[in-house]
Chain A
């Protein structure tokens, strides 16, 4: 008996036991589909997270300092360091965050992120102004109470960016004049705490407001993403000279965070894939169960076939192929179902989710493998049946 005949026989047997075959496949279908859905959705979601993260600037690094009375890095020292490496760094700004409430008349905003930066912050963020002017070096020097605001703040407090320029906003009671408004960042949502809800003031003013002369945080932007490692090393070397203790400062490159984020994503999808894989295993046990039932149910058939001259290997082949074909069909249906659900769920959640080829290949081959593996035991049992006993069974 050739393989082709065995395949035909298997298909025939599957077709003539439609209900039972379908139930067997169901486990595989669900298993394969869940692997594909989980892995694809996680990948889709994570890649959108990574995209957001990347837009925050992978060429940036944040420096955090713990300034002691004996050892401290001053703003001047940081600027000197920055000035010495114009080939590496594109922008630099001290970063002073202020927790503040914005008020204009009776309107107030509490979730706005308020920070003190240098004039280079706009370029560092890669933003453009909608209207007005940026914070200028002169503002830093003379500690002018001016601010640059996000689109949301302008829209909430003034109605439009045009109306905002030149007006004043009270930040923790201090009046600031709006110098400029940044272009809208988020095209979809304009919401509280979103990427358009911010207010920048000169860092010199911010330190005064927060009543601490020290600046604990700086943001550097490198000219090229490839230089981040070198820049980080250089910064750390410079800071060690000052502090002599690497517990007192920390340099965090966004690209590093991206790397670790990617690592976490890989781990997470592997974990979820593994969990879904368990369902595949359960499906395999299901295949084994049904095949065992099938062998028991078909004992007489096996007896007849054996009496007519079927060899052990022939019977074995018949059952193994049947199991493999059943699980392959289940696998294919599972892939189709998985792809369909992934597409629908992705568009519902609002992420770009497509079945990854890896997930498809792995889940399909695992399902076929499981069919073979778990089909083997019942097949072996069928092959070993004694023809006399098998013929006698009802």
Chain B
């Protein structure tokens, strides 16, 4: 009798454990399901031809003297048109390397990168320049405006390199400045503006050529919280208008503003999912 009881108790304990295990599994499978949903969504969209970024097993290896540094160690990532993705990671995680590759500033050591269906992974420097010019709008942490050009000329730059005639260039640049609410100040020099305004100019510049992808590298890194808010809201608005945005940040709270979060750790993706799931694991 005693033995039976003991056995029963044992069973109960086991059942408890199993239930716990099952619960964990459910959690994991939910996460997986989100991923799957994401992938399905993308697949659906892919059939409609709207995969924008496709990274397949990207590796970037730097040779530091004797040592090899694997900045990106087998990253695969698919981003569709219209997404707002935050790539988050600590410094040294490899997120900047990934940004350089996505931004066509650099090519991977191995792996494939398709941007808008074009294989970017083994392009020559000048071809990359063309891709950057036509497909990507950069927003940098330090704004990176040219101090000796006025706002209009700054915004005109990518159009200039695209070979767009002067009149059209001016119109497009002014329209772009209007979108960020700085049309009236087109004559001003960047140094006459506040940080938030300068960042808006750099957004205008990024938008000027109507690129497929807006790539923002720590866009709020140099701004106070109020102007950061402004810029983030603006990015959200751009996304709602249909622009694809990839934002690189080290700050998880900023990443939460996106719709999808990809976390990089030691050169690998260790989270990729909906922003709500990301919020849950924080």
Where the two chains meet, the residues of A that have a C-beta atom closer than 8 Å to any C-beta of B are 1, 5, 12-13, 16, 300-301, 303-314, 387-388, 391
Task: Please determine whether B130 and A308 come into contact, CB atoms closer than 8 angstroms.
Answer: no
Q: A5-B160, A16-B148, A301-B146 are in contact. Are A307 and B138 (CB under 8 A)?
A: yes
Chain B, Cβ-Cβ closest to A308: B158
Question: Using Cβ atoms and an 8 Å threshold, which residues of chain A touch B148?
Answer: 12-13, 16
Task: Please determine whether A311 and B146 come into contact, CB atoms closer than 8 angstroms.
Answer: no
Q: In whole angstroms, what is the CA distance A300 to B148 when docked? A: 13
Task: Please determine whether B132 and A307 come into contact, CB atoms closer than 8 angstroms.
Answer: yes
Smallest Cβ distance from B271 to chain A, in angstroms?
26
Smallest Cβ distance from A389 to chain B, in angstroms?
10
Question: Using Cβ atoms and an 8 Å threshold, which residues of chain A touch B144?
Answer: 300, 303-304, 307, 391
Task: Please determine whether B106 and A311 come into contact, CB atoms closer than 8 angstroms.
Answer: no
Question: Using Cβ atoms and an 8 Å threshold, which residues of chain B touch A1?
Answer: 160-161, 163
- Tell me the dominant secondary structure on chain B's binding face: helix
7 A-B pairs with C-beta separation under 8 A? A307-B103, A309-B129, A309-B130, A313-B126, A314-B161, A387-B105, A388-B106
Question: Using Cβ atoms and an 8 Å threshold, which residues of chain B touch A388?
Answer: 100, 105-106
- The proximity string for B residues 147-186 relative to A, scoring 1 for CB distances below 8 Å and 0 otherwise, is 0100000000110111100000000000000000000000
Q: A1-B161, A301-B146, A387-B105 are in contact. Are A306 and B129 (CB under 8 A)?
A: yes
Q: In whole angstroms, what is the CA distance A199 to B15 when docked? A: 146
Task: Please determine whether A308 and B157 come into contact, CB atoms closer than 8 angstroms.
Answer: yes
Is B121 in contact with chain A by the CB < 8 A criterion?
no
Is B265 in contact with chain A by the CB < 8 A criterion?
no
Question: Using Cβ atoms and an 8 Å threshold, which residues of chain A touch B130?
Answer: 309, 311
Task: Please determine whether B205 and A308 come into contact, CB atoms closer than 8 angstroms.
Answer: yes
Chain B, Cβ-Cβ closest to A315: B129
Q: In whole angstroms, what is the CA distance A52 to B274 when docked? A: 99
Question: Using Cβ atoms and an 8 Å threshold, which residues of chain B touch A13?
Answer: 148
Is B119 in contact with chain A by the CB < 8 A criterion?
no
List 10 tightest A-B contacts by C-beta distance, closest first: A309-B133, A309-B161, A308-B158, A311-B126, A311-B129, A304-B144, A16-B148, A309-B132, A308-B157, A387-B105
Task: Please determine whether A310 and B129 come into contact, CB atoms closer than 8 angstroms.
Answer: yes
Contact residues of B between 114 and 156, Cβ < 8 Å to A: 125-126, 129-130, 132-134, 138, 140, 144-146, 148
Task: Please determine whether B162 and A309 come into contact, CB atoms closer than 8 angstroms.
Answer: yes
Smallest Cβ distance from B157 to chain A, in angstroms?
5
Interface-centre pick from A1, A309, A312 (highest chain B CB count, 10 A): A309
Chain A, Cβ-Cβ closest to B208: A308
Question: Using Cβ atoms and an 8 Å threshold, which residues of chain B touch A301?
Answer: 146
Task: Please determine whether A305 and B157 come into contact, CB atoms closer than 8 angstroms.
Answer: yes
Question: Using Cβ atoms and an 8 Å threshold, which residues of chain B touch A5?
Answer: 160
Partner of B132, one of A12, A16, A308, A312: A308
Q: In whole angstroms, what is the CA distance A303 to B105 when docked? A: 10
Q: In whole angstroms, what is the CA distance A391 to B148 when docked? A: 17
Task: Please determine whether A308 and B105 come into contact, CB atoms closer than 8 angstroms.
Answer: no
Question: Using Cβ atoms and an 8 Å threshold, which residues of chain B touch A306?
Answer: 129, 132
Question: Using Cβ atoms and an 8 Å threshold, which residues of chain A touch B146?
Answer: 301, 304-305
Partner of A309, one of B100, B106, B140, B158: B158
Q: In whole angstroms, what is the CA distance A111 to B133 when docked? A: 87
Task: Please determine whether B140 and A312 come into contact, CB atoms closer than 8 angstroms.
Answer: no
Question: Using Cβ atoms and an 8 Å threshold, which residues of chain A touch B161?
Answer: 1, 305, 308-311, 314
Q: In whole angstroms, what is the CA distance A254 to B162 when docked? A: 72
Q: In whole angstroms, what is the CA distance A143 to B148 when docked? A: 94
**Beyond known contacts A12-B148, A310-B161, A388-B105: 7 more, CB 8 A cutoff:** A5-B160, A303-B144, A304-B146, A305-B146, A309-B130, A312-B125, A314-B161
Question: Using Cβ atoms and an 8 Å threshold, which residues of chain B touch A304?
Answer: 144-146
Q: In whole angstroms, what is the CA distance A12 to B160 when docked? A: 16
Smallest Cβ distance from B142 to chain A, in angstroms?
9
Q: In whole angstroms, what is the CA distance A156 to B76 when docked? A: 111
Question: Using Cβ atoms and an 8 Å threshold, which residues of chain B touch A308?
Answer: 132-133, 138, 157-158, 161, 205
Q: In whole angstroms, what is the CA distance A307 to B105 when docked? A: 7
Smallest Cβ distance from B143 to chain A, in angstroms?
10
Chain A, Cβ-Cβ closest to B147: A301
Question: Using Cβ atoms and an 8 Å threshold, which residues of chain B touch A391?
Answer: 105, 140, 144
Chain A, Cβ-Cβ closest to B130: A309
Smallest Cβ distance from A392 to chain B, in angstroms?
10
Q: In whole angstroms, what is the CA distance A300 to B140 when docked? A: 13
Q: In whole angstroms, what is the CA distance A305 to B158 when docked? A: 8
Smallest Cβ distance from B156 to chain A, in angstroms?
10
Q: In whole angstroms, what is the CA distance A1 to B156 when docked? A: 12
Question: Using Cβ atoms and an 8 Å threshold, which residues of chain B touch A309?
Answer: 129-130, 132-134, 158, 161-162
Question: Using Cβ atoms and an 8 Å threshold, which residues of chain A touch B162?
Answer: 309
Smallest Cβ distance from A15 to chain B, in angstroms?
10
Question: Using Cβ atoms and an 8 Å threshold, which residues of chain B touch A313?
Answer: 126
Q: In whole angstroms, what is the CA distance A380 to B100 when docked? A: 23
Q: In whole angstroms, what is the CA distance A307 to B205 when docked? A: 12
Q: In whole angstroms, what is the CA distance A255 to B103 when docked? A: 79
Smallest Cβ distance from A383 to chain B, in angstroms?
9
Q: In whole angstroms, what is the CA distance A388 to B132 when docked? A: 13
Q: In whole angstroms, what is the CA distance A312 to B130 when docked? A: 11
Interface-centre pick from B129, B134, B157, B160 (highest chain A CB count, 10 A): B129
Smallest Cβ distance from A274 to chain B, in angstroms?
40
Question: Using Cβ atoms and an 8 Å threshold, which residues of chain B touch A307?
Answer: 103, 105, 132, 138, 144
Question: Using Cβ atoms and an 8 Å threshold, which residues of chain B touch A387?
Answer: 105
Q: In whole angstroms, what is the CA distance A388 to B158 when docked? A: 17
Q: In whole angstroms, what is the CA distance A150 to B133 when docked? A: 88
Question: Using Cβ atoms and an 8 Å threshold, which residues of chain A touch B134?
Answer: 309
Partner of A312, one of B126, B138, B163, B205: B126
Q: In whole angstroms, what is the CA distance A313 to B132 when docked? A: 16
Contact residues of B between 70 and 115, Cβ < 8 Å to A: 100, 103, 105-106
Q: In whole angstroms, what is the CA distance A228 to B38 when docked? A: 106
